[in-house]
Amino acid sequence: MTSALGIPALGIASPIGIGKAAVAAGLLHGRRGLVARTDLVPGRTLWVGAVQAELPAIPPSLSQLDCRNNRLMLLALTEIAGEIRQAIDRFGADRIAVVLGTSTAGISNGEEAYLERVGQGAWPSHFLYTQQETGNLAEFAASVLGVTGPAYTIATACSSTGKVFAAARRLIATGLCDAAIVGGADTIGRMTVGGFSALEAVSARHCNPFSRNRDGVNIGEAGVAFLLTPDPAEVRLLGVGESSDAYHASAPDPSGRGARESMTAALADAAIDPAQIAYINLHGTGTPLNDPMEGRAVHEIFGGDVPCSSTKGMTGHTLGAAGACEAAFLWLTLHPAYNAGRLPVHVWDGVPDPEIPSLNLVTPQLGNTVGAGPMLSNSFAFGGSNVAVILGSA
């Protein structure tokens, strides 16, 4: 176990709001941030969790990295710019790491550029391949912030921004840096939505996690930034558990082995018992295969009493940003400035699946009565890459 690190700052741009206060209000009232789109998959109207905000401009000196994904990341970073500046003044720019996650990078810009090439016979002059490179997210963030410590991007699909906590903590523990900016961004594009659609994993309606009537995901987008330091803070990183079961390229192990291993490892890392966990943010994609697997794994470790919810019914599945987005929901629930003693609501049709072990899914009434304590968030990715993150209050 590594000593708990403080998480003093959070910036977030999500489908249910921009900034901590707006997201906290939407989260605790079950606000859906889903909109209908007809331009992503030919012949289909799909619901997606889109960020409804004007995104900031990229500085001209970084125009080679200009893409929607980096602009979304910049929006989240801007919210904590003051705290980052204080960390630079205290530790030095060379002692602050940047560890971010993504799966899409700027591929949507590449899509638009390709359509222009097909239609007009030439690539647009403003398009550069670097805008699509996965690693450009951390490069961009480090450059725009003026920090020169270790900077890299993790791309393990839907577990990417959960794994950044473990990676950054290792950098601090080994003395390679004193603090870290962690989080990440993913954005909606035709290729991503089309790929999930080809896998028959996309719902034609609002996604319905853990329901008997579930039929797939809604794709979403988000940008999230945390500051991670060795100092005490209102919210702390208590534990991280990683596993790789490599069961299948796109399907989870139906036994839940990898999911159990990541949650068990996180509990051991935090040195706490399952009974101490006050709330679990489920991966809860609403797909036929994920929910039974996760339900079994959670029930085997925690039983059926711990309050749980999947927040993807509000945001959609924010892909590589999901781990950070849902860790942010824990942060907002734990932080006394944003939490009113309520838990994130599970938004669904209320029809349980008898094939999934019974879980204590949060209703608005339960959300008004449950107190805080250590909280866990799950993220499970293609290829069997799993991560569980535990946060706690001071």
Rounded Cα distance between 78 and 160, Å, is 22
Catalytic residue among 67, 308, 317, 325: 317
CA distance 1 to 218: 36
158 is catalytic: yes
Closest CA to 51 of 28, 27, 68: 68
Which of 205, 277, 212, 214 minimizes the C-alpha distance to 241? 277
With beta carbons less than 8 A apart as the criterion, state whether 327 and 364 touch: no
Query: Strand 307-309 and strand 360-361: pairing?
Result: parallel
Strands 375-380 and 279-281: parallel
State how far the Cα of 278 lies from the Cα of 256, in Å rounded to an integer.
21
Place of tokens 């720019």: 93
Q: How many residues belong to the chain?
A: 394
Q: In whole angstroms, what is the distance from residue 60 CA to residue 33 CA?
A: 32
Tokens found for residue 44: 């289909």
Our answer to whether residue 346 is catalytic in this structure is: no
Contacting residues for 118 by C-beta, under 8 A, at least 6 apart: none
Q: Tell me the backbone φ, ψ of residue 244, rounded to 5 degrees.
A: -140, 105
Q: Can you tell me the distance from the alpha carbon of 162 to that of 154, in angstroms, rounded to the nearest whole number? A: 10
Given the structure tokens 């003093």, which residue do they identify?
8
The structure tokens listed for 387 are 């991560």
Q: Is 67 a catalytic residue?
A: no
Sign of CA dihedral 227, 373, 217, 301: positive
**Of 67, 283, 325, 335, which one is the catalytic site residue?**
283
Instruction: Record the tokens describing residue 137, joined without a space.
Output: 């997210």
Query: Which residue of the set 158, 177, 207, 325 is catalytic?
Result: 158
Active site members: 158, 283, 317
